[in-house]
Amino acid sequence: MSNIEALPLVEPQVAEGVVPCCPPLTERPLTAEEAERTAAMFKALGDPVRLRLFSLVASHEGGEACVCDISDVGVSQPTVSHHLKKLKEAGLLTSERRGTWVYYRVEPSVMAAMGQMLTAATPVA
Amino acid sequence: MSNIEALPLVEPQVAEGVVPCCPPLTERPLTAEEAERTAAMFKALGDPVRLRLFSLVASHEGGEACVCDISDVGVSQPTVSHHLKKLKEAGLLTSERRGTWVYYRVEPSVMAAMGQMLTAATPVA
DNA sequence: CGTCTATGTTGACATACGTCGAACCAGGGC
DNA sequence: GCCCTGGTTCGACGTATGTCAACATAGACG
């Protein structure tokens, strides 16, 4: 077990504020703790309604959307609120109240970190 | 390198065999059907044990691993088999029996498609 | 203050999910 | 043939999850 000096290879081409959550999935096996944290993010996108809500916010003008603009996904309004809360807890969205309406926006760094685990992980095969 | 035509912005820099499952999440809202299919893939990576198993296979030599090599993730062996089946059903892994052992390997195209939904989706913000 | 609209929270319910032990297949040696 | 090892499937159990109706909260506007 030679000592590891190559810590920075975890982040090959990190964007601005990308949090280096975990190395690409092909780099090395995730530890139990890494898997726990990362799985929570993938899990947040693992529900059809949440994924639609997320894409609605992400594709909205300025990456920001009022709840009233994205509430038409086929479930009741409390359910929408529930899913938005889950996405917020996973760190994928942030919310801000401005006057009457609440606006949600995406957290680009987290999304980029997740993407890098998969794209940078495309193996030699 | 085959798709040089720049007609759909759905695939900006697709690798070889990437199935264009869905556009980047910032491109436009996903339809209900798109969300259903895509969420199933994210859901497969939304469990810590499955994520570890997947990274164990992906990081193994040649992107291929025998079940016996990756069974040490803290759960019983039937549970490992159960999770590998889920990953296979989600299209993320394929399995092949060679003699006594069963080998699992990653499906690079699916992984790349998921990554592109997130990386290509990094918004202007 | 009162009321109306926009969101979030609570409680309850049915279903899905992760986990295990035990039983069951598949090959390889003996 | 028999048994042994590697893997999967089955049945059951407890917990988590998605969903809704009902209620609660936050501003805006009179």
Q: Containing domain of residue A43, as a range?
A: 30-119
* pLDDT tens digits along A29-42: 899 999 999 999 99
Q: Please name the residues between 6 and 65 in chain A that touch chain B, using a CB distance below 8 Å.
A: 15, 25-30, 32, 35-36, 38-40, 42-52, 54-56, 58-59, 62-63
* pLDDT tens digits along A9-20: 333 444 455 566
**CA–CA separation, B12 vs B9, rounded Å?**
6
* pLDDT tens digits along A65-82: 999 999 999 999 999 999
- Domain CATH code at residue A70: 1.10.10.10
pLDDT tier at B22 (50, 70, 90 boundaries)?
confident
**pLDDT number for residue A122:** 56
Query: What percentage of chain B has pLDDT greater than the value 70?
Result: 79
Strand D–CB A49 distance below 7 A: yes
Burial of A28 (0-12, 13-18, 19+ CB in 10 A): middle
**pLDDT number for residue B97:** 94
**CA–CA separation, B61 vs B64, rounded Å?**
6
User: Kind of pairing, strands A64-66 and A101-106?
Assistant: antiparallel
Query: What percentage of chain A has pLDDT greater than the value 70?
Result: 79
**pLDDT number for residue B119:** 86
| A122 CB within 8 Å of a chain B CB | yes
Average pLDDT for chain A:
84
Examine residue A124 and state whether it is found in any structural domain, yes or no: no
pLDDT tier at B1 (50, 70, 90 boundaries)?
very low
* pLDDT tens digits along B61-105: 888 999 999 999 999 999 999 999 999 999 999 999 999 999 999
Examine residue A57 and state whether it is found in any structural domain, yes or no: yes
Q: Do B59 and A118 touch (CB under 8 A)?
A: no
Examine residue B34 and state whether it is found in any structural domain, yes or no: no
**How many C-beta atoms lie closer than 10 Å to residue A114's C-beta?**
27
Q: Which residues pair with B65 in a beta bridge?
A: B104
Q: How many domains does chain B have?
A: 1
Tokens of B98: 């060679």
Examine residue A106 and state whether it is found in any structural domain, yes or no: yes
**CA–CA separation, B98 vs B81, rounded Å?**
17
